[in-house]
Amino acid sequence: MEINASNLMQEMQALKIEAGATPFEPSTRQVTSDFGQLLQQALSNVNEMQGAANDLRTRFDTGDKSVDLAEVMIAGQKSSIAFEATVQVRNKVVDAYKTIMNMPV
């Protein structure tokens, strides 16, 4: 299977533009989102990414010519990174909970 370098470069440029399109700017506005709600949205997003990666992997395995290996590998890596980030956030929340519970009253 041949990987088209120009398509790969175009996708990388699009990701670069997408990543740079919303620079982080500190804000003084009040945050009104609930942490639980944000966490639920993040978990839903990770679940969707894993489902999409599994769908691409299945389509590639069954011989779908519209799905190339690079697309499957990128989707798999994106879902893996998102899952690892979610696990790290969970670990930090558990550590914070343990620290708070061990504080003297």
Give 6-51 pLDDT, tens digit per residue: 766 777 777 777 766 555 555 555 656 677 888 888 899 999 999 9
Domain count, the chain: 1
Q: Which residue has the higher pLDDT, 62 or 12?
A: 62
Q: Taking the C-alpha atoms of 46, 49, 54 and 55 in order, what is their torsion angle to the nearest 10 degrees?
A: 140
Q: Give the structural domain span for 74.
A: 33-105
In a domain, 27, yes or no: no
Q: Are 86 and 40 in contact (CB under 8 A)?
A: no
> Does residue 77 form part of some domain?
yes
pLDDT tier for residue 58 given thresholds of 50, 70 and 90 = very high
Length of the chain equals: 105
Instruction: Determine contact, residues 79/52, Cβ cutoff 8 Å.
Output: yes
In a domain? residue 88: yes
On whether residue 13 sits in a domain, the answer given is no
Domain-located, residue 11: no
Q: Could you tell me the pTM of the whole model?
A: 0.61
Is 103 part of a structural domain of the chain? yes
